[in-house]
């Protein structure tokens, strides 16, 4: 086992336990005030780091990678998605890229289900009414929402998170439908009692609730385009806990404002941290600040996976979560 301690630049504040362990194992340079690094700071970081530990807030594009020194050999991303990293540019420079898959599945699925419940039962509006001082007591027709039992849930993206959402949704009496790039294994489909739709268009037109859980890739950019949003069944609900770029946010806002869509729950946005102005004005949208994976347990597990990937690389072995080859 190697005792070498590579220069490791961490771009954001991580949990104390993770930063402490990094300081012990590596020549770690931490971001003490947790500011989002500027482009200039990222370029300076790749110019000196042997290992860069970025997060989804850091755009590691081809120009940043081109500015890296020959010593940069590993980008150990703190997060599951790698759409913020130019994988082709990294591969061309023989830089290994890793991520932290699997550890956030349950946390994100929990939040997806929470948003479905919040939108269907108007929890956000009810909480505001209770705090307003204007609530006049129970009424038979006040704060009416929608029952989930017996409704159809269409899941866009049936990977780990999509399947975890399906398991939770079945417990609430929802009928499971899904669209995925590839059909899942028959035993998985049978266990979830899930109906596969090869055509996303056809599925969208028939669902009562739609949950977006697919990753953001060039193929999924605006997968829910203006045209597809118009196909969604009138009165349906939509929840997105994947990436904002998967949905045409302007078209979504228009559909919600017109009442074509009954409601939406969003944890991610197309131009984060900016949120479409019209969405901010609507009462039928639950808006969260990208907190689907924000549990202490999840963040610690992410940090531990980053450390394992770095240590494995330092020891001269293939990191367990190397992603560049499988995603190109």
Condensed to tens digits (0 to 9), the pLDDT of residues 255-285 reads 999 999 999 999 999 999 999 999 999 999 9
* 82 assigned to some structural domain: yes
Same domain, 45 and 117: no
In a domain, 133, yes or no: yes
For 84-110, how does the pLDDT look when each residue is reduced to its tens digit (9 = 90+)?
Answer: 999 999 999 999 999 999 999 999 999
**How far apart are alpha carbons 251 and 261 in whole angstroms?**
11
Q: What are the tens digits of pLDDT across the range 217-232? A: 899 999 999 999 999 9
| pLDDT exceeds 60 at position 328 | no
Indicate which residue of 243, 276, 299, 305 is catalytic.
Answer: 243
Q: Give dist(CA 99, CA 127) in Å, integer.
A: 37
Q: Are residues 77 and 198 in the same domain?
A: no
Distance from C-alpha of 268 to C-alpha of 307, rounded to nearest angstrom = 27
202 found inside a domain: yes
Q: Is 1 part of a structural domain of the chain?
A: no
Residues 263 and 305 in one domain: no
Q: Same domain for 237 and 247?
A: yes
Its pTM surpasses 0.85: yes
Residue 327 has pLDDT above 80, yes or no: no
> What is the rounded average pLDDT for all residues in the chain?
95
Higher pLDDT, 56 or 2: 56
Specify if 305 maps to a domain.
Answer: yes
Whether 290 is catalytic is yes
- Count structural domains, the chain: 2
If asked whether residues 112 and 205 sit together in one domain, one would say yes
Q: How far is CA 63 from CA 40, 42, 43, in A?
A: 11, 11, 9
Whether residues 122 and 264 share a domain: the answer is: yes
What tens digit of pLDDT does each residue of 4-51 get?
Answer: 899 999 999 999 999 999 999 999 999 999 999 999 999 999 999 999
Q: Which one is catalytic: 59, 93, 167, 290?
A: 290
Q: Are residues 113 and 241 in the same domain?
A: yes
SS3 51: strand
Average pLDDT over residues 135-158: 97
- Asked if 208 and 238 sit in the same domain, the reply is yes
**Which among 84, 272, 304, 322 is annotated as catalytic?**
272
Q: Evaluate whether residue 2 is within a structural domain.
A: no
Do both 144 and 244 map to the same domain?
yes
Co-location of 301 and 280 in the same domain? no
**Average pLDDT value for residue range 192-221:** 96
pLDDT number for residue 324: 61
Residue-range definition of the domain harbouring residue 316: 7-103+295-327
Q: In what order do the strands lie in the sheet with 209-212?
A: 195-196, 175-179, 152-156, 209-212, 237-240, 263-266, 285-287
In this predicted structure, the answer to whether residue 210 has a pLDDT above a threshold of 70 is: yes
Domain containing 111 — which CATH number?
3.40.50.720
Q: Is residue 303 part of a domain?
A: yes
Same domain, 276 and 137: yes
Note if 21 is an active site residue: no
| pLDDT over 70, % of the chain | 98
Given a cut of 50, is residue 326 above it in pLDDT? no
pLDDT reported for residue 156: 98
Element spanning 226, H or E = helix 226-231
**Residues 244 and 210 grouped into a single domain:** yes
Q: Is residue 255 part of a domain?
A: yes
pLDDT tier for residue 3 given thresholds of 50, 70 and 90: confident
pLDDT band at 2 (very low <50, low <70, confident <90, very high): low
């Amino acid at each position: 086992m190697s005792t070498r301690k590579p220069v490791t630049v961490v771009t954001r504040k991580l949990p104390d336990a993770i930063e402490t362990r990094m300081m012990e194992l590596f020549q770690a340079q931490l971001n003490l005030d947790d500011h989002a690094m500027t482009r200039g700071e990222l370029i300076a970081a790749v110019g000196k780091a042997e290992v860069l530990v970025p997060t989804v807030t850091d755009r590691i594009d081809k120009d940043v990678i081109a500015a890296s020194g020959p010593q940069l050999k590993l980008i150990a991303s703190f997060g599951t998605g790698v759409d913020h990293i130019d994988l082709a540019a990294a591969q061309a420079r023989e830089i290994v890229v890793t991520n932290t898959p699997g550890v956030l599945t349950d946390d994100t699925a929990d939040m997806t289900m929470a948003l479905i419940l919040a939108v269907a039962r108007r929890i956000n509006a009810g909480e505001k009414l209770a705090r307003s001082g204007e609530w006049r007591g129970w009424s038979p027709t006040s704060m009416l929402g929608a029952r989930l039992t017996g409704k159809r849930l269409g899941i866009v993206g049936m990977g780990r998170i999509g399947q975890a959402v399906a398991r939770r949704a079945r417990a609430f009496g929802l009928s499971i439908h899904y669209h995925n790039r590839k059909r899942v294994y028959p035993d998985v489909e049978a266990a979830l009692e899930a109906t596969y739709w090869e055509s996303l268009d056809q599925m969208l037109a028939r669902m009562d609730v739609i949950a977006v859980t697919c990753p953001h890739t060039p193929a999924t950019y605006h997968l829910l385009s203006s045209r597809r949003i118009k196909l969604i069944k009138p009165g349906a609900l939509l929840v997105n806990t994947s990436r904002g770029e998967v949905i045409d946010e302007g078209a979504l806002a228009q559909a919600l404002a017109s009442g074509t869509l009954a409601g939406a729950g969003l944890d991610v946005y197309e131009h984060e941290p900016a949120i479409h102005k019209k969405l901010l004005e609507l009462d039928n949208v639950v808006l969260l600040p990208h907190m689907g994976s924000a549990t202490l347990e999840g963040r610690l597990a992410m940090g531990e996976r980053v450390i394992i990937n770095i240590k494995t690389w330092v020891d001269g072995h293939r990191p367990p979560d190397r992603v560049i080859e499988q995603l190109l």
